[in-house]
Homo-oligomer: A and B are copies of this chain.
Amino acid sequence: MRALVVEDEAAVAEDIRAALHAAGFVVDIAPDGRDAWFAGDVEDYDIAILDLGLPQLDGLSVLKRWRAADRLFPVIIVSARGDWTERVEGINAGADDYLGKPFEMGELIARVRGLLRRAAGRGSSVLAVGPLRIDSQRMTAELNGVPVRLSPLEFRLLDYLAHSPARAVSAMELADHLYGAADTTDSNAIEALVARLRRKVGAGLITTRRGFGYMLGDSG
């Protein structure tokens, strides 16, 4: 999962980054509105945390521009001014959630997870695919009720697939969301990762659609 954090105060940005990173996200930070707009327009994020008070370009404007450009990833607005009208404005501009400062990192993570769940069209916080249960909260997985020990990358790959229902996800997209955009590796790292995952969760769970990508389950 890839997240964009828009926050001008470096210390706060770093706190959020750390929390998200610990929760298994790849994080980009945009320190001002202009960078934020650009990054959100150009990169492929799963979610954005957006501070409203920003230099260069106001947070609400950033959000509106994203939405106008059909950038539909979930956005959580974070703001110091606990203003009620502001909240409404945020929602109207296309925000999916609102969090007043100061806030607990735990709450932020929880809301992020909730939004991702909704975006994936799932109700429960524990995703189930066949005999496999994936708990993104605890970063654990169970096969037939038996805990499976997964490495961080393995888990994130599995988690990303689980959040992309009924869709084949290409190796390129996976690399993008697991590593971030920077490296255009044309290696078989993803294939190797998938192989190791299959060895742990059973070969049948991850289907390869030749020429398209990977998906969980086998229908479709």
Contacts and interface: CB of A to CB of B under 8 A. Distances in A.
A8 to B, nearest CB: 19
A212 B21 CA distance: 11
A152 B170 CA distance: 13
Contacts of A212: 139, 152
Interface in A96-122: 99-100, 102-107, 110, 114
A176 B106 CA distance: 9
Contacts of A15: 184
B106 A147 contact: no
A43 interface: yes
Contact of A173 (B38, B106, B211): B106
A208 B115 CA distance: 29
B107 A168 contact: no
A172 B19 CA distance: 8
B22 A107 contact: no
Interface of A: 15, 18-19, 22, 38, 41-44, 70, 81, 99-100, 102-107, 110, 114, 138-140, 147, 149, 151-152, 166-168, 170, 172-173, 176, 181, 184, 186, 209-212, 219-220
